[in-house]
């Protein structure tokens, strides 16, 4: 199968060839013909499956088939993403795949001045990528009108629902013209996601893909049983001993992410943290430094890490296991990209033991247990309830008012409920 077989037009094929993409991924093969035919789509796919190109390519193709300049503030394609990083990355994908086409695109998100965004909009854009809050803001001020939207994409719906964007999404949807093509994507399909999609899609094609087996197969997954207060010494040891090159670390809270980055810098390991409390400029700089190799380590919370698309991440380290087993797959999918080998290390303390069990059930594999000097038998044998000193590190973080970043922040951590699938 080639992109030519999917009837992708020459300017797009040239851009794909330039990027080194020789064949479409499964979601691209399955989705593109339907999308070119004008069908609505519900795609269950995670980052790493090539889902962005699966909607960017047909949208660009359809825009170029009927090219006409878009009036100021009236886009033809609207793509909504939950985070600034993801929105920026989608906008970048339009630039990359559309590099041999004539069209205008821009991205709007909060946390930065609106002036430059308003200026771009006033010149007329065909494709607008946006986070929900800033989009509504600019709509309320009259800078964006949705009456011309022909293609409407909601990316990572599950995450948007998690982040409490339901009202915003409904408001956006109510401003769309009656006739448009809707493309919805979600990493997981919950009852809430299903109900939301059901109401808004017309006779949609449903496509579900798991991350390419090869992606997960390329990742060597290991777990380190360790008490909370030994997690940092273990981390430091591993980074140095294994001479890790480009490491993405996940922490449970923003405060913890800062602490880890700070402590690594003190140990002369170049690190920075990205999370929702950082300004857009700080986040952009950290991402840029990480991509360029100036930073060896980037510490992130789940939400901030959504949309991080950096190839050649040698190691993903779960300093804390995620509350949601599905997030584990998202996280580790950041390494082992483009056929490269990757390593995913998870630190599991006693109070995270049940989360590990849920993850293993989800991925239908036992994660290999690593032997190391900080091994905690208590953590290994725990059944998920709080155990001895396991909370010391977290205790400190909580005392300073740190909270989890996701909408699950109020969820009880222990015992961890096993989700039936």
Per CB under 6 A, residues contacting ligand AMP are: 21, 24-25, 28, 47-53, 309
- Minimal distance in Å, beta carbon 309 to ligand AMP? 5
Distance CA 184, CA 354 (A): 32
- Is 49 or 131 the residue whose CB approaches ligand AMP more closely? 49
38-60 burial code (b ≥16 CB/10 A, e <16) = ebbbbbbbbbbbbbbbbbbbbbb
Rg of the Cα atoms in the chain:
22
- Is 31 or 146 the residue whose CB approaches ligand AMP more closely? 31
Distance CA 271, CA 286 (A): 9
- Minimal distance in Å, beta carbon 333 to ligand AMP? 9
- Is 132 or 333 the residue whose CB approaches ligand AMP more closely? 333
- Is 52 or 131 the residue whose CB approaches ligand AMP more closely? 52
Distance CA 209, CA 75 (A): 30
- Is 48 or 204 the residue whose CB approaches ligand AMP more closely? 48
The DSSP line for 27-78 is HHHHHHHHHHTT--EEEE--TTSSHHHHHHHHHHHHHHHT--PPPTT--SEE
Determine contact, residues 306/47, Cβ cutoff 8 Å: yes
- Is 51 or 353 the residue whose CB approaches ligand AMP more closely? 51
Q: CB count, 10 Å around CB of 293? A: 11
Residue showing the smallest CB distance to ligand AMP in the complex: 52
- Minimal distance in Å, beta carbon 26 to ligand AMP? 10
- Minimal distance in Å, beta carbon 336 to ligand AMP? 11
Distance CA 87, CA 131 (A): 7
- Is 21 or 282 the residue whose CB approaches ligand AMP more closely? 21
Distance CA 213, CA 103 (A): 35
- Minimal distance in Å, beta carbon 55 to ligand AMP? 9
Omega before 348 within 30 of 0, i.e. cis:
no
- Minimal distance in Å, beta carbon 52 to ligand AMP? 3
Within the chain, how many helices (H) and strands (E) appear?
18, 14
- Is 6 or 235 the residue whose CB approaches ligand AMP more closely? 6
Determine contact, residues 293/247, Cβ cutoff 8 Å: no
């Amino acid at each position: 199968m080639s992109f030519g077989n999917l009837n992708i037009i020459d300017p797009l094929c040239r851009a794909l060839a330039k990027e080194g993409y020789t064949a479409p991924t499964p979601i691209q093969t399955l989705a593109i013909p339907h999308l070119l035919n004008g069908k609505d789509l519900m795609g269950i796919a995670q980052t790493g499956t090539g889902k962005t190109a699966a909607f960017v390519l047909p949208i660009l193709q359809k825009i170029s088939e009927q090219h006409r300049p878009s009036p100021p503030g009236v886009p033809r394609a609207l793509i909504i993403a939950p985070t600034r990083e993801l929105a920026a990355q989608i906008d970048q994908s339009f630039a990359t795949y559309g590099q041999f086409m004539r069209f205008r695109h821009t991205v709007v998100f909060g946390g930065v001045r609106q002036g430059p965004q308003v200026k771009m909009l006033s010149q007329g854009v065909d494709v607008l990528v946006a986070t929900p809050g800033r989009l509504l803001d600019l709509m309320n001020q009259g800078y964006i009108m949705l009456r011309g939207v022909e293609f409407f994409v909601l990316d990572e719906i599950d995450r948007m629902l998690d982040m409490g964007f339901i009202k915003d999404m409904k408001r956006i949807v109510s401003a769309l013209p009656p006739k448009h093509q809707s493309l919805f994507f979600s990493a997981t399909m919950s009852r809430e996601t299903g109900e939301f999609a059901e109401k808004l899609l017309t006779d949609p094609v449903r496509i579900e893909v798991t991350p390419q087996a090869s992606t997960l197969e390329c990742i060597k997954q290991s777990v380190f049983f360790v008490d909370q207060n030994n997690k940092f010494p273990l981390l430091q040891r591993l980074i140095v001993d294994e001479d890790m090159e480009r490491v993405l670390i996940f922490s449970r809270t923003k405060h913890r992410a800062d602490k880890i980055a700070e402590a690594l810098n003190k140990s002369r390991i170049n690190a920075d943290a990205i999370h929702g409390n950082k300004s857009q400029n700080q986040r952009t700089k950290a991402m840029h430094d990480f991509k360029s190799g100036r930073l060896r380590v980037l510490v992130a919370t789940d939400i901030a890490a959504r949309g991080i698309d950096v190839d050649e991440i040698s190691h993903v380290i779960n300093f804390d296991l995620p509350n949601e087993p599905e997030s584990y797959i998202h996280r580790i999918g950041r390494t082992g990209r483009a056929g490269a080998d990757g390593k995913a290390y998870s630190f599991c303390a006693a109070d995270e033991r049940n989360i590990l069990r849920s993850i293993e059930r989800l991925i239908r594999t036992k994660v290999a247990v690593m032997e190391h000097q900080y091994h905690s038998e208590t953590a290994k044998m725990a059944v998920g309830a709080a155990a001895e000193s396991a909370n010391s590190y977290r205790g400190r973080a909580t005392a300073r008012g740190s909270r989890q970043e996701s909408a699950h922040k109020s969820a009880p951590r222990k015992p961890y409920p096993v989700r039936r699938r």
